[in-house]
């Protein structure tokens, strides 16, 4: 049941884009990085992290790159690509994070979902 709800959530919020883009991994985005650093380090997120079992520090954040992570980025792009929002991929310890940011002209009012996945790219948790 949980997987069905997650799948529906992904399909409704994150429409897939056609594959074949030149770069599988998106570039580094400071806003997305700051959001992830906040999630992993801020006291305000402590209870939420504990509920999900996330205990990795912000110092372990690594931006996924084509040179090191092309296959993972391709899979993430196929699953989490979106035409109306920019998405950014990170690895932190045993997790992958997909963070959405609204396009530059819509960032102040757009929600920024965070998807947390395990190394098999199975969803651990979603923050909307």
Q: What is the pLDDT of residues 42-75, one digit of tens each?
A: 999 999 999 999 999 999 999 999 999 999 999 9
C-beta separation of 39 from 49 below 8 A: yes
The C-alpha atoms of residue 71 and residue 24 are separated, in whole angstroms, by 8
CA dihedral 44, 48, 54, 60 (to 10 degrees): -30
pTM of the model: 0.78
On the question of pLDDT at 112 being above 80, the answer is: no
Q: What is the pLDDT of residues 73-107, one digit of tens each?
A: 999 999 988 656 789 999 999 999 999 887 655 54
Token pair, residue 36, equals 């992830």
- Cα–Cα distance list, 125 to 52, 53, 55, 63, 118 (Å): 7, 10, 14, 19, 10
At residue 12, the pLDDT reads 45
85-92: strand order across its sheet: 61-63, 85-92, 95-102, 114-117, 123-127
């Amino acid at each position: 049941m949980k997987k069905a709800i997650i799948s529906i959530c992904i399909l409704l919020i994150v429409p897939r884009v056609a594959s074949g883009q030149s770069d599988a991994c998106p570039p580094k985005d400071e806003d997305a990085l700051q959001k992830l650093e906040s999630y992993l380090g801020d006291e305000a997120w402590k209870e939420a992290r504990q509920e999900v079992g996330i205990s990795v520090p912000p110092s372990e954040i690594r931006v996924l790159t084509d040179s090191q992570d092309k296959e993972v980025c391709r899979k993430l792009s196929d699953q989490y690509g979106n035409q109306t929002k920019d998405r950014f991929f990170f690895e932190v310890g045993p997790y992958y994070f997909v963070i959405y940011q609204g396009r530059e002209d819509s960032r102040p009012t757009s929600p920024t979902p965070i998807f947390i996945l395990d190394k098999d790219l199975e969803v651990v948790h979603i923050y909307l």
